[in-house]
Amino acid sequence: MWRRDRAGRATRLVALCAALAAAAGQGQAQGTAARRPAAAAPAGSAPASTLRADEIRGRPDLEAVAEGRVEFRRGELLLEADRVTYEQVEDLARARGQVRISTAAGHFSGPELQLQLGRFEGWFLEPQFELRRLQAGGRAARVDFIDSARSLAHDARYTSCPRQSGDAPAWVLEARRVRLDTDANEGQAEGAVLRFLGVPILALPAMSFPLSEERKSGWLPPHVNLDSRSGLELGVPYYWNIAAQRDATFVPRVLSKRGFALDSEFRWLEPRHRGEVRLDWLPADQVAGRSRHALSVLSQGEPASGLRWRVDGLRASDDAWWKDFPGATRSLAPRLLSTRLEVERDLSWAGGAGLAYARVQSWQVLQGSDLEVRTPYERRPQVGLQWRRSLPGGLDLALESEFNRFERVEAGSDPMAPTGLRWHALGSLTRPWQAPGLWVTPKLSFNAASYDLDQAMADGRRRASRLVPTLSVDARMEFERETRWFGSAVRQTLEPRLLYVNTPWRAQALLPLFDSAGKDFNVNSIFSENPFSGIDRVADAHQLTAGLTSRWLDPANGAEALRLGVVQRYLFRPQRLTPEGVPFTQRFSDLYLLGAGQLGAGLGMDAVLQYSPDLGRPVRSIFSARWTPGPFRTLSSTYRYSRGSSEQLELGWQWPLWKADAGAARGTRAGACNGDLYSVGRLNYSLQDSRITDSVLGLEYDSGCWIARVVAERLSTGRSEATTRLMLQLELVGLSRLGSNPLQVLKDNIPGYRLLREERR
């Protein structure tokens, strides 16, 4: 949190100066020879101390004085000054003339330091500090040490911009007074002002912050959004640290087109229970003319060993929520909101391990668009049992049984779709065989299902059942050889694979389709025993799938330079039950080709091609290439084609438009904040519709001590609808990010995108 982690750094480090000064004073009464180290401390005592100076003198039990290039070391601490005196009677230490304290965190300097060690009372004049990890620092006019726990800094300043020149830093955080109380773990700042390019952009008359990584209630930096549906949005989050295991965040927002809104999030983390609840609420949407909300619940727990429960739900007040607030829903399918409750328990029975579970799942479909969404069946309830055991002779037995009640959601459902009960059982018996370079797995399995429907099927029956057995043998081999490729030593592999499947035909055309659909044609589905997902359909098959993959590897580290593969299926008899609904009579299936390679200089390519021997042309293909010649430089292109369905071209990039002086190191204070400008973006163009569907375009300016981002995102919400939003962010390096946050959008949409600065935790 910016309020907590950043604003207090200046004063926290000044307090550290006092602690270091105290440690320095403890060793100054020792030593009488100039430039001579003191004796090491006994084992188990405080770290050894060393005092060096051009001249060391003093009166025993009264005073010690070190002058001329004074150096005092204790562990990682180094105190340097022109003159250090210690008055033993008053327990008072004084350091004057170029006082400098160095630690692993940074260094601190000023003209004069005075500290009463017993009471930890004193002052440090005009202290300045530099933080190595953050590459930032600041100063204060004076720091008063009240006691070992409390201190007061006057006119404190903090920035990560260059400070050695006479020009003002690009940004600076100022505070008139800062009070610290380490016992209460709290700091208080008065008259805090954040200036950017000389303009005050944030002012707080009073603010508080913790002095450690512990959480603390308080206001967080505001954020600003702009989109085509809600207009200008301003939100100011408030963080409430309820307890060590619970917290909440409230974000009052003002939307120029819609009015007032309130977002809230409550989180908890108990030893056996954790979760979060989020509510986004518009009490009176001026555009929609009604109250609107979205609710998200995610909670899970383990009340006993082996027993688990989980609640995961999403709900919105109306169909248009996903279009008006596209970034507010955490669902992968923003128009299909699921609510799921489940209880599971691990089982150990008859020498095997298993799982018993009970679930309920319902859906909310958000319509109101030119694209209709079909809703999946609701399961109310879903009760099941899974069990697996190893048998003598190397056999593996797996069983599954499940009972479901399938119901329809009225919105988005086919009114003619059947509802009812289904019980199914799955079982398999396998005997894996393994030898060097060879894996063979024969398997005998079955899929049994019984239905009790609310509506009669086409033949008038409401009850039906079927049992489908399957015999399969999966064989894989792997061969290797050492060879040379373009003059370099490589290891080449040859990996053939065969899958034989024999499944008899069973009549299933009249049975309902509760959860079955055709699998997408890819390298995984072509090596599966059933082209259908789910339970309701099991395709008949008497076929052999053959594939061959060859890879070229770096023998030193195993990195893959090139991979080529080809897969095709041969049918010994026609397949009567298919996802397409028509019998498949071709002996040979479509040919599946794949390739991937790293061509050097940061260039990588991937290709997938589905070729139809019957049509004599490709029916599906994906080609992609990405070039990453260096940090913050990436170009990617992807072409997707599906015959009769879609054809798309996608471009993504992160690339500098101009660079500052290459001699100035990135993120350092060498040179001025004259910065680099980067272009970032992704374009998804439909060649079939001749239009851009989704796009992200932006600019990032990195000055070295601050970063500005401007990102526009356009999301299609229908064939003729889209939502456009503009995200503006100012990142003050070493302090905070202000405005809306486009970083997740950039990482999700641009392959190879890298943050100009690492995330700070």
pLDDT digits 0-9 by tens, 293-304: 999 999 999 998
At 645 the pLDDT is: 84
At 371 the pLDDT is: 67
Structural domain includes residue 563: yes
* C-alpha 251, offset from chain centre: 22
The CATH number of the domain holding residue 200 is: 2.60.450.10
Note the pLDDT tens digit of each residue in 582-597: 999 989 999 999 999 9
Tell me if 465 sits within 8 A of 457, measured CB to CB.
no
Mean pLDDT over 104-112 rounds to 82
Mean pLDDT over 92-113 rounds to 84
Helix/strand/coil for 159: strand
Structural domain includes residue 605: no
Structural domain includes residue 734: no
Kindly report the number of other CB atoms within 10 A of residue 167's CB atom: 11
Q: What is the DSSP letter of 575?
A: B
- Which of 165, 191, 216 is a domain's end point? 216
Q: What is the DSSP letter of 582?
A: S
Structural domain includes residue 649: no
Tell me if 178 sits within 8 A of 156, measured CB to CB.
yes
Tell me if 136 sits within 8 A of 159, measured CB to CB.
yes
Structural domain includes residue 753: no
At 675 the pLDDT is: 80
Q: Is the pLDDT of residue 200 over 80?
A: yes
Q: Residue 116: name the closest of 72, 147, 158 by CA.
A: 147
Structural domain includes residue 224: no
Q: What is the DSSP letter of 42?
A: P
Note the pLDDT tens digit of each residue in 559-570: 899 999 999 999
CA distance 144 to 102: 20
At 522 the pLDDT is: 85
Q: Is the pLDDT of residue 169 over 70?
A: yes
At 35 the pLDDT is: 36
Q: Is the pLDDT of residue 370 over 50?
A: yes
Mean pLDDT over 169-181 rounds to 86
Structural domain includes residue 275: no
CA atoms within 13 A on the CB side of 115: 27
CA distance 649 to 688: 10
Mean pLDDT over 665-692 rounds to 74
CA 163, 169, 172, 175 torsion: positive or negative? positive
At 508 the pLDDT is: 94
CA distance 625 to 652: 10
Residues ≥6 apart with Cβ < 8 Å to 321: 292, 294, 328, 329, 366
How are the residues of the chain apportioned to helix, strand and coil, as percentages rounded to the nearest 5? 5, 60, 35
Tell me if 124 sits within 8 A of 18, measured CB to CB.
yes
CA distance 230 to 252: 15
Note the pLDDT tens digit of each residue in 135-151: 778 889 998 888 877 88
At 32 the pLDDT is: 28
Domain span including residue 141: 2-216
Q: Is the pLDDT of residue 329 over 80?
A: no
At 326 the pLDDT is: 77
Note the pLDDT tens digit of each residue in 344-360: 999 998 889 999 999 99
- Give the pairing type, strands 433-435 and 420-430: unpaired
Count of domains forming the chain: 2
Kindly report the number of other CB atoms within 10 A of residue 46's CB atom: 12
- Which of 197, 216, 235 is a domain's end point? 216
Q: What is the DSSP letter of 688?
A: T
Provide φ and ψ at 393, rounded to 5°: 85, 15
- Which of 200, 216, 232 is a domain's end point? 216
- 245 pLDDT tier (thresholds 50, 70, 90): very high
Residues ≥6 apart with Cβ < 8 Å to 440: 432, 433, 434, 473, 474, 475, 476
Average pLDDT, the chain: 85
Provide φ and ψ at 451, rounded to 5°: -120, 140
Kindly report the number of other CB atoms within 10 A of residue 481's CB atom: 9
Q: Is the pLDDT of residue 668 over 90?
A: no
Structural domain includes residue 686: no
